[in-house]
Each structure stands twice: as C-alpha cells, then as structure tokens.
Amino acid sequence: MSRQIIVPFGPQHPVLPEPLHLDLVLEDERVVDVIPSIGYVHRGFEKLVEKRDFNNYVYLAERTCGICSFIHGMTYCQGIEQVMGIEVPERALYLRTIWSEYSRLHSHLLWLGCFADSFGFENLFMNAWRIRERVLDVLEQTTGGRVIQGACKVGGVRRNIGSEKLAEMNEGLGIIRREIEDLTNVFLFDSSIRHRLKNVGVLSKEDAYHLGAVGPVARGSGVNVDLRKTGYAAYGKLKFEPVVETAGDSLARCTVRARELFASIDMIHQAIAAIPEGPLDVKVTGAPEGEYFSRSEQPRGELIHYVKGNGTKFLVRSRIRTPTLTNIPPLVKMLAGCELADVPVIVLSIDPCIGCAER
C-alpha cells in the first residue's frame, strides 16, 4: 500500500465561490477518504427570531441564501400562515409560483456556469451567465431586486405583476428557451464534456436514498422525489412531471438540471395562463401559536423551515434545514475512490450552497 497524504481543499479555493473545507486523504492520485469541515459561513441568525418579530423575520429568512432567496422567504411565510390559519389569496399563490420558478431558472443557469468553470470551460460559463441576466432582468422588473427580492410577506405578496407585463414575460420566455436550448445542447452532447462527466462521482439509487440525498442529486440517481408534487403554492394546479435520470453520475445530475430548466419554463407559461385576478394579500392580525414544518422544493432540493410560536409576536424557535446540508453525506460517498482531478467537478455537481447549509 502506498503512503497516505492529506491534501487540504478550501476554504479559499479557485473553484469554490464559498468557503468549504475538505481534507482529502490520498493514496497516489486516488482519494480514499474525505473529511469535510464546515462553519465558515455560520452566522447563527436563527437565534434572531427572539429579537425580530415574525413579520420582520421574513427579511432574515430571505437572506439565508442569496441564490434561492425568494423560496426561503416563501417557505417561511407558508409556515407562519399554516400556524396562524391564514388563507392566502389565489393570485398571490400564483405569483409566488412564478417567482419561485424564475428563481429556479436563475439558480440552475448559475450552476451550469459554475459547473462549466469547474471543468475549465470558461466560455460556457460566460454564456450561461449571459442568459441568466435575462432572468434577473425579469426578477428586477417585477420585484425590484436582482438577487434578494423581498417580494414575499406573511399573508401574501408585496407586489403585483400587471397583465401587460405577464404577456411580455410570456414572450420573453420564448427567447430564453431558445438560448437555453443552445446552451444545454453543449452540456449534454459535446463529446469532451460527456467524456469529462460520465461515470464521475457515481451515486447508486440505494446510497442516494439511504444517505438522504435530495433534489437533483437524488433525481439524478433515480429517486423520484420532488416536493412540488405536494402541491404547495399553486403547484397543485400545474401539470408537470419530476425530471428523473438513472445513471447517478455527474452527467446525470447535469442532465436533470438542464431538463428542469425547460420544465420550469413550461410551468411559468401555465401559471401565466391560469393566474386569476384578485387581491394580493390578507390582513394579518394576532400572533402565531403552535408549530409547523414548512417544506418546499428549492433548486437544490427539499427545504424545511420549522417555526414555533408561543402566542407572542416573537417566535420561540426557527430551524432551517437546507438541501446542501443533507447532500454532504452523499458527496462524501461520491468522492471516495475518485481521482484528485475530479474533486472540483464532483463537489460542484451537488450544487453546494454553503450560505444555506450553515446559515
């Protein structure tokens, strides 16, 4: 047996936009063990529920993560609404769905770009981010914010989208769709990319299930879980099928996300066609008493916001369980036995969002 050496990976590393530290135990070029250590982005704001009232905490919930901020805010609001028994107006539910899916588009395009960067395809990174700007433009025009939207509140939404703008968005999606087709064709059919991703970081269906993989990591390994099927917001009224691939390697996870882009565009089209007229919010009176696990499908997988109130306007406890945290054990499994040069690709293939994971 050759001698083992430990190579530190991170916290500051060119492929990592965020700090994560991995100790890679190597035998020659092969990774035999991985010891992850986290804590570089832990801010501890769950404790701030004691200082901010439940309406103001939406702003903090949104800032769990700058990439899927809208979905964080929405999931928290759903939790409070369930505890307090608030009926959210239909139109607000549809608007939440539309913004959620735009967030997913922007998150997946961001990821495709970063993923291309991780295997050294700079041009593809630039192209993915160029298309992403179109999605961000729509988010900015409709909510006022590019990455932190602040559009969701307990009891509804803050802003309306007029019918003219909805029609414009419908048209704009056509352009985005064509550009995404060109982009994903490169990811899925380019021979050098396929060569780079195929059979890299394989996660079997059993492992994905038992290690608690969620989102595209689970769906890339053939586990059919998609929280949108539970029908929160307006998802119950939209027709869609979860995107599932069975190979379980990096290419499969990439394919899942690429195909989800088109699924998201379809869902936005459906939501725009079906959105009813009506009020945007209901008045919130009183304070939450009780507890609730609010679940939703974030671009990275299942997100849980647990809220517990005691009848005052300050919550007793907020707990956020994010998809990246649950995807770390599967990541460790994928990394064991891989080549050192594949580590950046495999780490990126779970779409790590450390800002979420550590809060």
Q: Which is nearer to other proteins, 18 or 339 (CB)?
A: 18
Q: Which is nearer to other proteins, 147 or 284 (CB)?
A: 147
Q: Cβ–Cβ contacts within 10 Å for residue 170, how many?
A: 13
* Interacting span for other proteins (CB under 8 A) from 93-101, 130-138, 209-217, 306-314: 130-138
- Give the span between the Cα atoms of 108 and 114, in whole angstroms: 10
∠ CA 279-229-140, rounded to 5°: 50
Q: How many residues form the binding site for other proteins (CB under 8 A)?
A: 44
- Give the span between the Cα atoms of 23 and 118, in whole angstroms: 19
CB 108 to other proteins: min, Å: 13
Beta-strand runs (E) in the chain: 4-9, 21-27, 30-37, 152-153, 156-157, 289-298, 301-310, 315-321
- Give the span between the Cα atoms of 132 and 116, in whole angstroms: 14
Q: According to CB under 8 A, which residues from 59 to 118 bind other proteins?
A: 59-60, 63-67, 69, 110, 113
Q: Which amino acid is at 111?
A: W
Out of 36, 40, 89, 317, point to the residue binding other proteins (CB under 8 A): 40
Q: Which is nearer to other proteins, 30 or 43 (CB)?
A: 43
Q: According to CB under 8 A, which residues from 142 to 171 bind other proteins?
A: 145-148
Contacts of 206 (CB under 8 A, 6+ apart): none
* Interacting span for other proteins (CB under 8 A) from 34-42, 94-102, 168-176, 184-192: 34-42
* Interacting span for other proteins (CB under 8 A) from 73-81, 132-140, 265-273, 335-343: 132-140
Distance from the Cα of residue 17 to its chain's centroid: 16
Which residues of this chain interact with other proteins, rule CB under 8 A?
Answer: 11-15, 17-19, 39-45, 47-48, 51, 59-60, 63-67, 69, 110, 113, 125-127, 129-130, 132-133, 136, 145-148, 353-356
